[in-house]
Chains A and B, each alone.
Chain A
Amino acid sequence: GQQLNQSPQSMFIQEGEDVSMNCTSSSIFNTWLWYKQDPGEGPVLLIALYKAGELTSNGRLTAQFGITRKDSFLNISASIPSDVGIYFCAGREAAGNKLTFGGGTRVLVKP
């Protein structure tokens, strides 16, 4: 079945740093979505991407729809403590109503 590989699995951030994460697919997607989940809560949609090559920002967050349509990237600039959480990518193939989710990137604060 369809798989999404999300990396890194976890990362430590220091306030003010820029961080990046990505997702790769074994096949082509028509839609890429990025979510953030805080502990004990449902995921919240951050950014939606609908076109290959599209670059979209939401505040300090920027996501890109890869031109091959098999990958997507999320960047967080000037990270702050509240950026801690789990970030999920999700993709949708050409037909259907279902999303495939990546395994998540856990963002933690450096001790």
Chain B
Amino acid sequence: SQTIHQWPATLVQPVGSPLSLECTVEGTSNPNLYWYRQAAGRGLQLLFYSVGIGQISSEVPQNLSASRPQDRQFILSSKKLLLSDSGFYLCAWNPGGAHRAHEQYFGPGTRLTVT
């Protein structure tokens, strides 16, 4: 069966510091991968998605970036965090070209607080 991991689970970082959040998926190959941000009490905002290694699509202009160095690894980064970067970051995957390909499955999330 497939599982998705995110770490760290929580993070408190000062303004201006760098960021690296990691997401890995097990039990599948060539998944589509997604990064979302959720502000407190709000819906999900798509930040980036990837259909393959090295292929990144950005949805919202911001000071965040994403990379996919391996098939099942998706990384969210920032060189300098802003207060507005605080939120709950969720990684998700779907099978891509398979049947029921558009069902996205979410990881446990990372709670980021920028101070």
Q: Which A residues are closer than 8 A to B by beta carbons? A: 31, 33, 35, 40-45, 48, 50, 88, 90, 92, 97-99, 101-104, 106
Pairwise interchain contact B43-A99, C-beta atoms closer than 8 A: no
Interface size of B in residues (CB-CB distance below 8 Å): 23
B104 at the interface (CB under 8 A from A): yes
- The smallest C-beta distance from B18 to any residue of chain A, in angstroms, reads 24
Q: Which B residues are closer than 8 A to A by beta carbons? A: 32, 41-44, 46, 49, 51, 59, 90, 92, 94, 96, 100, 102-109, 111
Write out the residue numbers on chain B whose beta carbons fall within 8 Å of the beta carbon of A43: 44, 90, 106
Distance between Cα atoms of A14 and B111 in the complex (Å): 31
B97 closest partner in A (C-beta): A97
Pairwise interchain contact B108-A42, C-beta atoms closer than 8 A: yes
Partner among B43, B92, B94, B100 whose Cβ is within 8 Å of the Cβ of A102: B43
Pairwise interchain contact A42-B90, C-beta atoms closer than 8 A: yes
Pairwise interchain contact A88-B90, C-beta atoms closer than 8 A: no
Distance between Cα atoms of A92 and B103 in the complex (Å): 10
Partner among A40, A42, A92 whose Cβ is within 8 Å of the Cβ of B106: A42
- The smallest C-beta distance from A49 to any residue of chain B, in angstroms, reads 11
- The smallest C-beta distance from A33 to any residue of chain B, in angstroms, reads 6
Write out the residue numbers on chain A whose beta carbons fall within 8 Å of the beta carbon of B32: 97
Other 16 A-B pairs with CB < 8 A, given A41-B108, A41-B109, A45-B105: A33-B104, A42-B90, A42-B92, A43-B44, A43-B90, A45-B103, A45-B104, A90-B104, A97-B49, A97-B94, A97-B96, A97-B102, A98-B59, A101-B43, A101-B44, A103-B42
